[in-house]
Amino acid sequence: MRENHGKKGIIYAENLVKALLCAYLVTGMFLLILALLLYKAGLSEENVNLGIILIYVIGTFSGGFVMGKLEGQKKFLWGAWNRSALFCSITAHLIWNVP
């Protein structure tokens, strides 16, 4: 019984890492696209700020979606938990690093 619980925890940790990597990759890809648009199109600061927030939301939802798919059961709860945890960490980072 104890061994089964340990394996389940390891599988959960692996799924969490996969979901976070997915969220980071999506966020990084969109941030690179935004940087290219900033360079080529000369976007205003308001547009860039809105783009950054939207990119973080998209990355958060993609990580939550992957987490829900990997866990298989209670998909919505796993996805919501992952999204809320990632969103809280990003929000805290933005709050503390704004001058």
Listed residue (89, 71, 76, 87) closest to 13, CA to CA: 71
Which structural domain, as residue segments, surrounds residue 14?
2-97
pLDDT the model gives residue 14: 85
Confidence of residue 7 (pLDDT cuts 50, 70, 90): low
11-69 pLDDT, tens digit per residue, is 777 887 888 888 889 999 999 999 999 999 988 888 888 898 889 888 888 887 888 88
Q: Is the pLDDT of residue 6 over 60?
A: no
pLDDT the model gives residue 31: 94
Q: How many domains does the chain have?
A: 1
Alpha helices in 42-74 (DSSP H): 45-71
**In angstroms, rounded to a whole number, what is the distance separating the alpha carbons of residues 30 and 41?**
16
